[in-house]
Chains A and B, each alone.
Chain A
């Protein structure tokens, strides 16, 4: 269980995240929606501790993780893997090494740490990495440089890297915002698979309500740093959207809305 209480982050005068409280049980797939600047991204970065909270607390399994330092902080970060909008892979390294970066914090002691600087990974780790790549149809790309891959492939490599961390939670910050509809669907399917098969809690930031409705068990809608809606996809009706954002759903998505409708259709029986 991930418990967030009164989580707040100020950037100068603006409150990016403003008193957010959430209870997220293990194994849930949560879609966080909202327009640009609603604070979705900051919320996820706060959880991974890439950003320090101004106030509030984050607890996981009863333990306060918002004040961790040093090795304990790195362990927490390993436990809640992050996937980014721009993939954040090391472009000039091969795919396999990029995936193995997820193992860096799994070595203990100064000597093992030193060995990790010389790209020394065990045969078992390589085998797991290759198997994970194979699971997402990327085995053939293992020795290619990351920058030779398409956006959709890179995002799946990033998911593989995240899985190598053996996390409890997967945070995905706008994972499909830079992808075309076809690739967006493949990546969302991968996230759902991770949630269902590996039992990971998934928090995914999304721009589009339809995508969130199609893939998530629960939707959290944010506006100006605050949570305006928190419930099942079915409860987020057009009227509720209009109430929260003061505009209709079509207007919420704006003119350029390539991922709605047929572009990212719900997989058959995905919610069954």
Chain B
């Protein structure tokens, strides 16, 4: 008996030795990969050290020159908040437009994602060509960055929000479609069998057995995507695809330092607001749906 116990103890010790060895080996390989990656991508500590102060310098330049005594004076007085945000009306409108772009793009993208997710869910067993086709299409649309799509659409449709909306919608379809399909693959398959066994078609089974079960997840992902898209819509204007990004790009290229900080502050505030509101909304909706 004690012999068997001793043998187990020995086996345990050797197993632990083995695990330690593989942990050390894994860490060494990881470090080597990290160093290689840094070397290849020219992430030199020296360059970093030289550049960091310059970042501070840039922030120093774009910082507004506010004066306490004049802080709440009119827009004509230099050093006041109103002077800093002298074009607030225009920027607010652009921000609003940006939010609308994000909302529309999310809606369009989510709709396309939903339609593609059913064939892309392996457990719903469509023929291989449909499954592979849907999966590859989703991959293609999500690997290409929004800004590249935006460049193409600006070239095709001209400068404006339409190009930005289409670009974000396309990327959203790919990114959300994969998440949607994965959520559908995680559902319980018994209701599916129930609908199929009663003579329901594939579409009817998707509608009655899959959609109700996956709905809370789908909604949660879509709302999260809306937050991400608001950020995307803020920068996509850099290539002329509408929204506040275009204005931001202009003031950066013309070195209107104080305006840069004002716009960035506005964007940060807007994203924060949306984050807070949509988080609440998401929780509330999920509570109601589930």
Residues of A within 8 A of B (CB): 48, 50, 74-79, 81-82, 84, 86-93, 97, 101-102, 104-105, 113, 116-117, 158, 161-162, 165
Give the size category of B's interface with A: 20 to 34
What is the chain A residue whose CB lies nearest that of B210? A90
**Least CB distance, A197 to chain B, in whole angstroms:** 21
For A82, what are the chain B residues with a Cβ–Cβ distance below 8 Å? 194, 197-198
Q: Known: A88-B191, A89-B191, A90-B212. Is A105-B201 also a contact (CB below 8 A)?
A: yes
Question: Which of B188, B190, B194, B208 neighbours the largest number of chain A CB atoms within 10 Å of its CB?
Answer: B194
**CB <8 Å contact, A50 and B193:** yes
**Least CB distance, A49 to chain B, in whole angstroms:** 9
- Of A87, A97, A105, the residue contacting B198 (CB under 8 A) is A105
CA A92 – CA B195 in complex, angstroms? 14
* B186 interfacial by beta-carbon distance below 8 Å: no
Q: Known: A89-B191, A90-B212, A90-B213. Is A105-B196 also a contact (CB below 8 A)?
A: no
* B203 interfacial by beta-carbon distance below 8 Å: yes
- Of A78, A84, A92, A161, the residue contacting B190 (CB under 8 A) is A84
- Of A75, A88, A113, A117, the residue contacting B194 (CB under 8 A) is A88
**CB <8 Å contact, A90 and B199:** no
* B200 interfacial by beta-carbon distance below 8 Å: yes
Apart from A84-B190, A89-B191, A104-B204: 20 A-B pairs, beta carbons within 8 A: A50-B193, A50-B197, A74-B201, A81-B198, A82-B198, A88-B190, A88-B197, A90-B191, A90-B195, A90-B208, A90-B213, A92-B215, A92-B290, A93-B208, A97-B208, A101-B194, A101-B208, A104-B199, A104-B200, A105-B204
Q: Known: A74-B199, A74-B201, A113-B201. Is A104-B194 also a contact (CB below 8 A)?
A: no
For B197, what are the chain A residues with a Cβ–Cβ distance below 8 Å? 48, 50, 77, 81-82, 84, 88
Which residues of chain B (192-243) have a CB below 8 Å from chain A?
193-201, 203-204, 207-209, 212-213, 215
**Least CB distance, A256 to chain B, in whole angstroms:** 24
**Least CB distance, B123 to chain A, in whole angstroms:** 15
6 cross-chain CB contacts under 8 A: A74-B199, A76-B199, A87-B194, A93-B212, A116-B204, A161-B198
